[in-house]
């Protein structure tokens, strides 16, 4: 199942409901779910594996914990929502 930005524009309570629905459906039907999202918090909560894209390429893939502790400046900036000098040098 492919979900493209399923919670965009929703309030936090509805976002949580949709995320639980996606996770529950995935577990109930025992199928793979691909979720395209800029909602980092939700991705970290519901994903088993995360891929991070930069300029059209996968620059990192791993568990939420692996992504959360990645040393790439772009990934750090994307997760924190803050630009850093390291990121500026890359961009």
Interval 65-77: pLDDT, tens: 999 999 988 898 8
Note the pLDDT of residue 87.
Answer: 59
Main-chain dihedrals φ then ψ at residue 11, nearest 5 degrees: -75, 165
Gap between the Cα atoms of 60 and 55, Å rounded = 12
**H/E run at residue 11:** none
In tens, the pLDDT along 75-85 reads: 988 888 887 66
> How many CB atoms neighbour CB 50 within 10 A?
21
Neighbour-count burial of 29, counting CB atoms closer than 10 A to its CB (0-12 exposed, 13-18 middle, 19+ buried) = exposed
In tens, the pLDDT along 11-63 reads: 999 999 999 999 999 999 999 999 999 898 889 989 999 999 988 999 999 99
Gap between the Cα atoms of 87 and 16, Å rounded = 30
């Amino acid at each position: 199942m492919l979900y493209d930005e399923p919670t965009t524009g929703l309030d936090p309570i509805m976002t949580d409901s949709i995320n639980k629905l996606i996770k529950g459906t995935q577990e109930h039907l025992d199928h793979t779910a691909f979720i395209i999202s800029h909602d980092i918090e939700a991705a970290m909560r519901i994903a088993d594996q995360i891929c991070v894209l930069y300029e059209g390429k996968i620059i990192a893939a791993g568990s939420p914990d692996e992504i959360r502790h990645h040393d790439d400046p772009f990934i750090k900036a994307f997760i924190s929502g803050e630009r850093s000098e390291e990121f500026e040098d890359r961009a």
